Amino acid sequence: MILSKRSRWLSLAIFLASGVSVLAAEGRHKIVVMAFGEDEFAIVDISKDMSKLVSVQDRLFPKATIGSVTEKDGVITVELKTAVGADSFQGKISKDGKIRGVFKLRGSPYAAELVPTKDEKVAELSSGKVQQEVMTALRDNAQKDMKTRAGALKTLVDKYADKPYASSIYAQYLSLADQAELTETDIKKTLDQWFSTAKEYSDTLYDQARSNAVRALRGKKKAAAGVLLNLAQDLDKSLSEENDLETKTEIAAVLADTARTLGKTDLADSVDKKLKGYEGKLDANYAKKVPPFKPEKVAEKKDARPVVMELFTGAQCPPCVAADVGFDALGDTYSHSNVILLQYHLHIPGPDPLTNDDSVTRQKYYGTEVQGTPSTFFNGKSDGGGGGSMAGSEGKYKEFRSIIDGVLAGKPAATVDLKASRKGDTIEISTKAKTAQKPGEKAKPRLRMVITEEVVKYIGSNKLRFHHHVVRDMPGGADGVSLDKAGELTHSAKVDVKALRGEIEKYVSDFEKGRQPIRDKLPA
């Protein structure tokens, strides 16, 4: 085969380009992951013939071996394999000659570099140092004005400006944009620094940085609003509905709110129409996947002792997911006459707009028995505590069922005849209660009435879209009303739904004062 002079030069150029890439990837390298600092995950020897694993973080990758090592179209891939799956580095050679990219750990991408080394062993993990520096700066300035607090964060932003793990510092700094009176120039300069660093590592991290910036600036009404509008519009256009529907929905909601704040009602209305479609698809996908098991339906048990199950949880609590989903599934298993489900939201670990005065008072009633969320009680007794991820929800469901079935085997200790009716915004309640036996001298039975919302749609940081049997009010107070010496009580109450809604909104608003605003919209 005879090549023209032009073809020969083209072939040589391709050969040289790929040769540079191969040589750059060969040799001994550290895989340095820069999620919260600079942590060495592994040391590998890369060779065209045979690559090997020199050293690895055993706690993260038990019994790890090296998988495939490839270099194609300038993309270098190094795979680490364990018994539970494979994690990998993927990156390219940057203009400065460094190999930058992402390390996918359990499916999540983190900024990473492939760094030449002669070391034989990975260094100890040390990423907590940077986060500790941030916490120290916030703690030392907690009692100072917002400008001072923002200034402390800005010092750290400048210190770590070219480090991808500065992402959380950027976000915290920008979240103070209104209170610290940052100018539009300040905000744009900060975003440019943040995004240029993220882009050095991958387009995925660039999109992550932009999404996190939108979240940080959400709800800001001063200089940040115009910047936020443009940022949300750009991100809305670039995100794929097929691959990024959840993020796209979140960004679209911010875009609509910001447009409305700036008086751009036509834009807000057009985005709202798209949002309805996005939300419908997400709700449908959620219904198919949650719960990730099929609850069993059991027949109603006559004359059984009813079980009141109380769940203390939080929409910002990832470990609460297993308990929440297991709790929800109980509603499809038992009749309402057998099992009464009550869900109280608390500000644990972060602010939760489904919390109210009565849910906090009920927590205080149990005192130290509610050490955190999730906590569960069955007829006033703590049992079945602890949580987990979605994968653990069936286990919690079965645990709850075991406890409930044991209580249902008993005889009722009291009877309650309750009637409730609603006219407009007024709910009228009348009750008659009587204990099965006359109470002893030390017994002090009390009647507590509860108003719950059967389903509330609210998406907190734990990503559960729906919450069931959420306690919104305890008419007559969370302490309840005492029965008389004979163990009897006739009681009535009225609830103004409109006034109740106002009380809950005021509670949330008062809670926010002096704190960071609750990021997500309150349920309507």
**Rounded Cα–Cα distance for residues 353 and 461 (Å):** 12
- Single out the residue of 287, 214, 206 nearest to residue 249, CA to CA: 214
pTM value > 0.85: no
**Rounded Cα–Cα distance for residues 478 and 476 (Å):** 7
**Rounded Cα–Cα distance for residues 367 and 344 (Å):** 15
Contact at 8 Å (CB) between 178 and 217?
no
Q: Read off φ and ψ for residue 117, nearest 5 degrees.
A: -155, 165
Query: Rounded mean pLDDT of the chain?
Result: 90
Give the mean pLDDT of 147-174.
Answer: 94
**pLDDT at site 522:** 58
Q: Which two tokens stand for residue 103?
A: 């390390």
* Range from 7-16, 344-353, 369-378, 399-408 carrying the lowest mean pLDDT: 7-16
**pLDDT at site 251:** 95
**pLDDT at site 177:** 94
Count Cα atoms within 13 angstroms, Cβ side, for 307: 29
Q: Read off φ and ψ for residue 113, nearest 5 degrees.
A: -135, 150
Residue 244 pLDDT level (bands cut at 50, 70, 90)? confident
What pLDDT digit, counting tens, does each position of 118-153 carry? 999 999 988 778 888 999 998 999 899 989 999 999
pLDDT at 472 over 90: yes
Which H or E run includes 56?
Answer: strand 52-56
**Rounded Cα–Cα distance for residues 251 and 208 (Å):** 12
What pLDDT digit, counting tens, does each position of 262-291 carry? 999 999 999 999 999 999 999 999 999 999
* Strand 108-116 to 99-105 pairing: antiparallel
Chain centroid, CA 72 distance in Å: 36
**pLDDT at site 84:** 86
Tokens 């895989």: give the residue.
31
Q: Which two tokens stand for residue 523?
A: 């349920």
Q: Where are the alpha helices (DSSP H) in 333-385?
A: 357-366
Q: What percent of the chain has pLDDT over 70?
A: 93
Q: Which two tokens stand for residue 95?
A: 């203009």
Kindly tell me the sign of the dihedral angle through the C-alpha atoms of 11, 14, 18, 23. positive
Full 3-state SS string of 397-430: HHHHHHHHHHHHCCCCCEEEEEEEEEECCEEEEE
**pLDDT at site 48:** 81
* Strand 375-378 to 307-313 pairing: antiparallel
**Rounded Cα–Cα distance for residues 59 and 80 (Å):** 13
pLDDT at 7 over 90: no
Domain ranges of the chain: 24-116, 128-289, 307-512
What pLDDT digit, counting tens, does each position of 60-94 carry? 999 999 999 998 889 999 999 998 899 999 999 99
Please give the radius of gyration of the chain, using alpha carbons only, rounded to the nearest integer: 29
Fold of 128-289: 1.25.40
